[in-house]
Amino acid sequence: MRRLVLAATAVVVLATGCAAQQSDASDANSPETKASSATKSPGSPTSPKPSSPKPSSPKSASPKTTGETPDGTLLVADFGSDTVTFVDPDRGAIDSVRVGEAPYGLVVGEDGRAWVATAEGVAVVDTHQRKRTALVAYETENLGRVTGGEYRGGGMGIALAPDGDHVYVGVNVPGGNGTLETVDTGTREVTDVTDVGRRPFDVDVSRDGREVYATDHDSFDVTVVDARTHDTRRIEVAPYGTEGGLGSWLKPHYAAVRPSDGRLLFPFEGEKLVVVDPDTGRSTIERMTANTHQHGVTVTPDGTLLAVGTGPIDPSEDEGPSLTVRTKDGKERVIPLDGPHEDVAVSADGRTAYVTGGFTRDGYWNGISVVDLDSGDVRRLAAGERPLGIAVL
């Protein structure tokens, strides 16, 4: 009976277009629906309501600067426009560069080049001079027309090999399985296209560069790709089960590679941290405490995990947006945030977290929450247009 009820719920959700893949920009506002849970009961899904940001400095008040970009500048992908924005963490936006439609994830190499996953291709940006130098077109077919929105075709997660020789971008194919495209950073050409799961939200690389991990949001799994042979294997990541199908909230979104042992860390709902051994495919589950839907994650060199809570699925049961700071021994501190957020980066000294307010769904705002990790104090900074991906230069 339970399976019949869940199946019926999923049918209703998909009939309204809630989590099925779409290509129209308006689909970014369609809610997912909560599927089965060992600790939460299904209920009416509720998207977080928009909040009114109170930024510390409006974008218009930050003049465009000249000269090379200072270290510590933030770079954000403006999912709501066709640009990336350079942000002074104290004063706000200082410059924007056109990169391509609906940029999602980005990564920056030691040479100062940023690689940005857009709907049109992978943009290459010289962050020192703040200009786009190339746009590498995708070779994946059936991406549909170039558009915005959460379910648009094109690049999503993106990662750089440790030696800087290759960039790996997860490409969403609306209505089907995605691909992982490998780009040679020297020639700026696609050298391989590898099949992965549905909607690759995030891409990560092993510490030795031998494996690439595509987090397949709509497949409830992670695809492990051999960086040399491009052979693949899939590992299920579904601590709540998969009964909800495309209509489920309870899917993997972003992962982090733990520095100490190379295991993959997937936070779920502020309740469970799934720790996956990519060699064996086995996973263990550790308790989390934020009790909120979670998206972006990062891990610092000392093993501290930061996970972004986007807000409640069911406000009667779940907590609001937050940033979880989890030490390597599993102790957590949950810092409340004002409104939904998507991704997070940490300053070079490890004392400040920068959390983007873009969010892939409704309720987003155009800015960054700057979090003092010692005191827990939070201030808001206007920056970009629906910023998602973020890096510290």
- pLDDT of res. 64: 52
Q: What is the pLDDT of residues 179-231, one digit of tens each?
A: 999 999 999 999 999 999 999 999 999 999 999 999 999 999 999 999 999 99
pLDDT of residue 118: 98
End-to-end CA distance of the chain: 53
- In tens, the pLDDT along 54-112 reads 454 333 334 455 568 999 999 999 999 999 999 999 999 999 999 999 999 999 999 99
Closest CA to 350 of 332, 327, 317: 327
- pLDDT confidence band for 247 (50 / 70 / 90): confident
**Helix, strand or coil for residue 54?**
coil
In three-state secondary structure terms, 212 is: strand
Sign of CA dihedral 74, 78, 82, 88: negative
What CATH number belongs to 2-235+337-392? 2.130.10
The answer to whether residues 379 and 369 touch, using CB atoms and an 8 Å cutoff, is: yes
pLDDT at 234 exceeding the cut of 60: yes
Q: What are phi and psi of 343, to 5 degrees?
A: -135, 170
CA distances from 15 to 11, 32, 36, 148 (A): 6, 12, 19, 22
Domain locations along the chain: 2-235+337-392
Sign, CA torsion 199/216/83/133? negative
